[in-house]
Structure 1
Amino acid sequence: MKEAIAEAAARIDAELEVARAIQRSSLPGAFSSFPGRDEFDVYATMGTAKEVGGDFYDFFLIGENRLAVVIADVSGKGIPASLFMMTTKTLLQNLTEAGASPERVFSEANKYLCENNEIGMFVTAFMGILELDTGRFTYVNAGHNPPLFRKAGGRYSWLKSPPGFVLGGMEGTRYRERELLFQAGDRLFLYTDGVTEALNLQEELFSDLRLEETLNADVAREMDVTTLLKHVQSEIDRFTDGADQADDITMLGLEYKGKVKG
């Protein structure tokens, strides 16, 4: 009996490690992979939970003048969630690089995921495309947590981002595109619910309020996006104090530097 239990535990551990490897291999890790591009600064981080989920982030250039950013959270855990995550991530990038607008990207991705979804999973996601010469930012939300936006020198506040329906949840869903104009120094903070729902040993949530307070603290005002995300993670770690987390903790920070003169 003990041997059977040990074998089952070892099999589960092996499956979890496979899921972690799938998740890690799909994420961009080179944040300096845009040589000569001074119009923006981007950084992302993900801490995996004890039971691997399906969070992912992505960022990539479309031609020479547009930058896409994505953050998403797949329902479910383990290898199925990791595989569904890879499918979704590939879909979003391929559709975007083919020239589709954010709302079209989500509509087409939703159609495919609904038609090929025998396991009944879904994805919450936020995606935006930033025009680097103008600062025009076009974005769409599929049931995801609203980002926080900060004007240069100002305070972070919740971006007006009504959540549409999740991807893979219902065929024929329409997604509403919105626009925002970035000025030099403006920032966007994206995250998954593992951030605000991180639990401490007293089973209290880190919460929307603590996240907003952390981003707007005096100590964080002059941090670049890389240092800021590391600071938020350290505040979450301090709050949770070693408690096991049920969900991945994923964040992405973007700063628009403005059009390069010359």
Structure 2
Amino acid sequence: MTAWLITAVYSIRVLAGLFFRYGSFPLLLIAIILMVLQGLSALVLIKLFSKGSSIQKYLRGIELLFWIILSLFFGIDAYVSGASSFSPWALLIIAPIILNPCDPGNYSLYAAVLPSAIGIAEAAGAFSEGRPRYSLFVSIFFAFMLGSIARLRGLKRKAELDKALTLQKDREREIMKIKDAEVEIAARIQRTLLVDQKEEGPKEVELDALTVASSAVDGDFYGIIPYSDSEIDVLVGDVMGKGVPAALVGAALKGAFLRQALRLIVEKQGRLPNPFELVTAVHKAVVDQLMDLDRFATLQYIRFNAVHLTMTYVDCGHTPFIHYDASLGMCWIIQGSNLPIGFTDEQTYYAYTIPLSIGDRILFYSDGISEACNEKKELFGEMRLADIVRMNATLDPRELLRRILNTAMFFASAEGFKDDVTCIAVAIKPMDIFMITKSRDFSCEKQSLEGVRSFINLVLTEAAIQTNRDSITEAVVEGTEAVLQHIESARNAAGSDQLAASEQSGENQAIDSLEALDELEDLPGKKLLPTLMAYRVECRITDAWIHIRILYHGTSLPQKRGKELPLCKNHRPDATYVAKGQDNLAMVGLVFNR
């Protein structure tokens, strides 16, 4: 504002000189130049202020400099031109005060000093050969009077505004204290209702959990429910949104799981409902309310059975979990295909069963940790989590979670966590269980299917399994054929047929010798992964289940959200799942109950 006013004053001086022939041409030219420079400086200052430049703290000094230059110009103008009817001193005295009447500093007084001195000198006749100008004395006096009145009223108004602002800030602080107290109470309630303390379950299944809220109250929740000495359930979820509304929805969902579990236990006369039945019952109970609220929740409901050494889970659109496979020394990233709860009322939920091994580690987590980003906007990601789990697989769950949290916090130290973080780590401890494990590598050709059929038959025969042996064998062949078709499609899409042929030629002899084996000896160095142009069929058998795993290099089989994986159409296993591994490894798992 001040810069534009001074520009206008220069333009008035130029116009007055042109119309009234007041002042010499060089002075008018100087006024034009100063007017242009003043206007340009005003534009530059506006640009700098809009960008939040640090020059703002020098604003008063810059404006004072403008007033001084303007006063000097008119002083020189008066000295060169002599007495005239155009005397700007009263305007130059009062303008800085009028423009900033509430300024408590001495800026306006300093700006008025020079024009006052020059104006008084001109009134005394300094520029008119000693002839005093009494009218100029009067105008300067009135300018001082009006400026003083404006300054006093401005300071009084500023004092009133400061007092009102102080009262407003006090009220806001009181409101914030009340809100903080309410949020703290809500956070304590949340820690009581949404986050369970560590529960004692089967001694063979050790677990621990942590949660870090991005705000005092969040939408993450988890529950640990030990049903017996052999079974323990884990619930982990994340409600869309943040704050108290998300926490209330999470509390309602957790309560719905407990109510439906109790109802089903009563209906089934004491029999524990399986995870599929429980999630389906909760979905039917809450889906209409969640859709009315325009909310949904991703979650996983998992049951660990220490007797059968299995993990049965229902995934409802949650982040994948990480399974450290102690037998191979690597991690698998596994995700179901179900949609979130509350997303649609037409969803049918599917349960998946994964047999485990002694020494395995399982990590469940929310997207707050996998989507944490650093200053380069890089995501922490699932693979970093998998690497941490693999490198620290010997730690107990509590230490593993601490290592994960420290690494993630260091990674996102500049940005911090943008979302709530929840992690649950599970360790399978040593136990007394009988397990047969056999594996064999095959070349990635359809001709190898007969070798797979022969291998599975031999394994089942050695394990004295007669019931459904043919059905199990054919289901494995169907699953293997689907894997081979997926591998071939991926290679054709990548245009790698020639590379495949060149790499296969050097490996066929070793693979053929493996397929020709009739004895069921474990492969040497069983933790070694299959070669690039081979896939591995692994068979594990216990008294409770038969677990067939097909390991291969490439992408995992695609899954459609909300749909069951249609892998084996004629002979269906009891459970089918797919997993993505490290080092470009993928896996299909087929589970048959005994």
TM-score range, shorter chain: 0.7 to 0.9
CA-based RMSD? 2.2
Please give the per-residue CA displacement for 1:183-206, whole angstroms capped at 9, x wherever unaligned. 222221100000111133444321
Task: Give the aligned partner of residue 158 of structure 1.
Answer: 333
- Deviation of 1:260 after TM superposition, in Å, equals 5.5
Distance 1:86 1:96 in 2: 15
Distance 1:142 1:95, change over 3 A: same
Deviations 1:92-143 (A, max 9, x none): 2343453322122222212222233343221100111112211122111000
- Among 185, 190, 193, the alignment partner of 1:23 is 190
Partner of 2:382: 208
Q: CA deviation at 1:6?
A: 3.4
- Taking the aligned partners of 1:95 and 1:76, their CA distance within structure 2 comes to 25
CA contact (8 A) 2:324 2:390 kept: no
Q: How does 1:16-55 map to 2 (within 5 A)?
A: 16-26=183-193, 27-31=195-199, 33-34=200-201, 37-50=202-215, 52-55=217-220
Tell me if the contact between 2:325 and 2:332 (Cα under 8 Å) persists in the aligned partners. Answer: no
Compute the displacement of 1:64 (Å).
Answer: 3.5
Q: Distance in 2 between matches of 1:119 and 1:51?
A: 22
Number of the residue aligned with 1:6: 173
Distance 1:248 1:108 in 2: 27
Residue in structure 2 matched with residue 93 of structure 1 by the alignment: 258
Pick from 407, 427, 431: which aligns with 1:255? 427
Residue 410 of structure 2: aligned partner: 238
Q: Distance in 1 between matches of 2:253 and 2:324?
A: 29
Partner of 1:181: 355
Q: Which blocks of at least 5 consecutive residues in structure 2 are unaligned?
A: 1-167, 266-271, 434-594
| Counterpart residue type for residue 62 of structure 1 | Y
* SS class of match (1:245): coil
Relative to its length, the structure with more strand (as a share) is 1
1:172 aligns with 2:339: no
Equivalent pair of 1:50/1:244 in contact (CA under 8 Å): no
Q: In the alignment, what sits opposite 2:243?
A: 78
Alignment match, 1:106 = 279
CA gap 1:199/1:22 in 2 versus in 1, 3 angstroms = farther
Task: Tell me the SS of whatever aligns to 1:45.
Answer: strand
TM-score under structure 2 length normalisation:
0.41
The match for 1:225 among 372, 397, 411 is: 397
Counterpart Cα distance in 1 of 2:260 and 2:230? 17
In 1, Cα distance between equivalents of 2:198 and 2:352: 29
Q: Decide whether the 8 Å contact of 2:324 with 2:389 is kept in 1.
A: no
Q: Is the 8 A contact 1:51 1:77 kept in 2?
A: no
In the TM superposition, what is the alpha-carbon distance from 1:3 to its structure 2 partner? 4.1
Code of the aligned partner of 2:410: R
Would you say the 8 A contact 1:111–1:168 is kept in 2? no
Q: Secondary structure at the match of 1:104?
A: helix
Please tell me the residue identity of whatever aligns with 1:63: S
Q: How many Å separate the matches in 2 of 1:96 and 1:61?
A: 13
Shift of 1:17: 2.1
- Counterpart secondary structure, 2:298: strand
* Residues paired across the two proteins, number: 255
TM-score normalized by the length of structure 1: 0.87
Aligned residue type for 1:233: L
Structure 2 CA distance for aligned equivalents of residues 19 and 173 of structure 1: 33
Letter of the 1:110 partner, please give it: H
Q: State the shift of 1:211 in Å.
A: 1.5
**CA distance in 2: counterparts of 1:141 and 1:56, whole angstroms:** 15
Counterparts of 1:258 and 1:172 in 2: how far apart (Å)? 42
- Structure 1 position 169, deviation (Å): 2.0
Query: Per the alignment, in what secondary structure is the counterpart of residue 116 of structure 1?
Result: helix
Residue range with higher mean Cα deviation, 130-139 or 229-238: 130-139
- Structure scoring higher RCO (CA < 8 A, sep ≥ 6) equals 1
User: Which residue number corresponds to residue 133 of structure 2?
Assistant: none
Cα 1:11–1:244 change in 2 (3 A) is farther
Q: Is the 8 A contact 1:102 1:128 kept in 2?
A: yes
Give how far 1:10 is off.
3.6
Pairing partner for 2:365 from 191, 210, 214: 191
CA contact (8 A) 1:183 1:258 kept: no
Does the aligned pair in 2 maintain the 1:148–1:158 contact within 8 Å? yes
Runs of 4+, deviation exceeding 6 Å:
none
The amino acid across from 1:158 in the alignment is I
Decide whether the 8 Å contact of 1:133 with 1:258 is kept in 2.
no
How far is the alpha carbon of 1:80 from its aligned partner? Answer: 1.4
CA distance in 1, matches of 2:331, 2:308: 22
Pick closer, same or farther for the CA change 1:156–1:231 going to 2, 3 Å: same
CA distance in 1: counterparts of 2:422 and 2:249, whole angstroms: 17
Residue deviations 1:208-259 (CA, integer Å, cap 9, x gap)? 2222222223xx1321121111100010111111534221111001122254
Distance 2:345 2:182 in 1: 31
